Amino acid sequence: MAINIVVPSLGESVVEATVAEWLKKEGDAVAVGEALVRLETDKVDLEVGAEQAGVLAQIAQPQGADVQVGQVLGMLNLAGESRAAAAPAAPPAALRADDKATPVARRVAQEAGVDVSRVPGTGPGGRVTKADVQGFAGQPKEEQPTAPVMPPPPPPTTAAPTVVSADAGRSVERVRMSRRRQTIARRLVEAQHTAAMLTTFNEVDMSAVMDIRSRRKESFKEQHGIGLGFMSFFTKAVIAALKAFPRLNAEIEGDEIVTKHYYDIGVAIGAAEGLVVPVLRDADRMTFAQIEQAIKAFAQKVDQGTLTLDDLRGGTFTITNGGVFGSLLSTPILNAPQVGILGMHKIESRPVVVNGQIVIRPMMYLALSYDHRLVDGREAVQFLVKVKQLIEDPEALLLEA
């Protein structure tokens, strides 16, 4: 008896995916729950596992193929059927039946020649992470298990780069854009074509926040197990400004204005395939420590490739921090259908005038991009001034929060 391997439900608003990698080849025995194929959507990667033990009889959709929910990816002959000479052997004791490894960890393991099934996992639910593989690969040879290394998966069939020679000594490389990169490109162009997008700028003196962090960082970390970063301050300041200027927490649906009376703040995090924006749900109800812990957890998920669609769903306003990459000033693009996004930047010591005196202060440029169809210039400027005032006066920030 054979069963179809189909594209599962991909979550809210996601109906298509790309076959990123087959983790098994035709004829391979698989255990219940073992990952067969990795799919790439415009938001996250996910693995499709075997519903029953058996043998991978057919691959219907090769690597690089675009597929839709419910479409057949391949066929699985159940254990004991005639496709294989024998039912799949039980995996060795050291091999986890479901081979829990993130896509990033799997790729690093392949590059390092490491059998990922032998790597102890420290991630959620025992999942093997990139750091686990790197640590395992760095052990002395005599410490590593002597089991044979699993062969790498078959070479890509459609998504491999094509090198085209032009003139002597010169070449170009053509690589198909990933689904996520295609979606990022499309959404960014749509945002600029559909919104009347403008950006207003200001600068903020970071002295007060940096002083608090310097005085409180040790006790904060001891109490909460997390460092006190800048993002919690800016998240709280943004929420207070959104309450004062609610149009920035709204969106346009047809000819209606939909104002949100909750505060789901998206935090842009850099990933290999481009920025992703996981969302802090009800951020107005979160403490500084909870905000910092949630952002750290999101960053770990990004690194491990374990972000879920629910992590990315919705959002009423977005904060992006180009300063972590050294950006001094930029114009952030709206995360549609949101109508506002705050851009943070690099902190630099600059001469400024305070009470008639020239002093050196740690300054940061802030940028607010907004949809002028809904937000007037006056309230956009006032919103950004409100954020500036709260960051420069953290006592007021704490009182408003």
Each residue's pLDDT, cut to its tens digit, for the chain (401 residues) gives 888 999 887 765 567 888 888 999 999 998 888 889 988 887 777 888 888 889 999 999 998 888 888 889 999 998 655 443 333 443 433 333 347 676 667 767 777 788 878 888 776 567 777 777 877 877 543 344 443 344 444 444 444 455 554 556 688 888 888 777 787 788 788 888 888 999 999 999 999 999 999 999 899 999 999 999 999 999 999 999 999 999 999 999 999 999 999 999 999 998 777 788 999 999 999 999 999 999 999 999 988 888 888 898 889 999 999 999 999 999 999 998 999 999 999 999 999 999 999 999 999 999 999 999 999 999 999 999 999 999 999 988 887 76
Q: What is the pLDDT of residue 144?
A: 43
Q: Name the CATH architecture for the domain at 2-143.
A: Beta Barrel (2.40)
Q: What span, in angstroms and rounded, lies between the C-alpha atoms of 24 and 192? A: 42
Annotation: CATH topology of 180-400: Chloramphenicol Acetyltransferase (3.30.559)
Q: Where in the chain is the domain with CATH 3.30.559.10?
A: 180-400
Q: What is the pLDDT of residue 283?
A: 96
Catalytic residue among 66, 211, 282, 372: 372
Q: What is the pLDDT of residue 86?
A: 37
Taking the whole predicted model, whether its pTM rises above 0.85 is answered as: no
Catalytic residue among 66, 282, 376, 393: 376
303 carries an active-site annotation: no
Q: What span, in angstroms and rounded, lies between the C-alpha atoms of 331 and 366? A: 10
Q: Where in the chain is the domain with CATH 2.40.50.100?
A: 2-143
Q: What is the pLDDT of residue 356?
A: 94
Task: Give the HSE-up count for residue 194: Cα atoms under 13 Å, Cβ half-sphere.
Answer: 16
Mapped to the 3 state alphabet, what secondary structure does the chain carry?
CEEEEECCCCCCCCCEEEEEEECCCCCCEECCCCEEEEEECCCCEEEEECCCCEEEEEECCCCCCEEECCCEEEEEEECCCCCCCCCCCCCCCCCCCCCCECHHHHHHHHHHCCCHHHCCCCCHHHCECHHHHHHHHCCCHHHCCCCCCCCCCCCCCCCCCEEEECCCCCEEEECCCCHHHHHHHHHHHHHHHHCCEEEEEEEEECHHHHHHHHHHHHHHHHHHCCCCCHHHHHHHHHHHHHHHCHHHHEEEECCEEEECCCCCEEECECCCCCCECCEECCHHHCCHHHHHHHHHHHHHHHHHCCCCHHHHCCCCEEEEEHHHHCCCCCCCCCCCCCCEEEEECCEEEEEEEECCEEEEEEEEEEEEEEECCCCCHHHHHHHHHHHHHHHHCHHHHHHHC
Q: What phi-psi label fits residue 382: left (phi over 0), alpha (psi between -120 and 50 degrees) or beta?
A: alpha
Around Cβ 353, how many Cβ atoms within 10 Å? 9
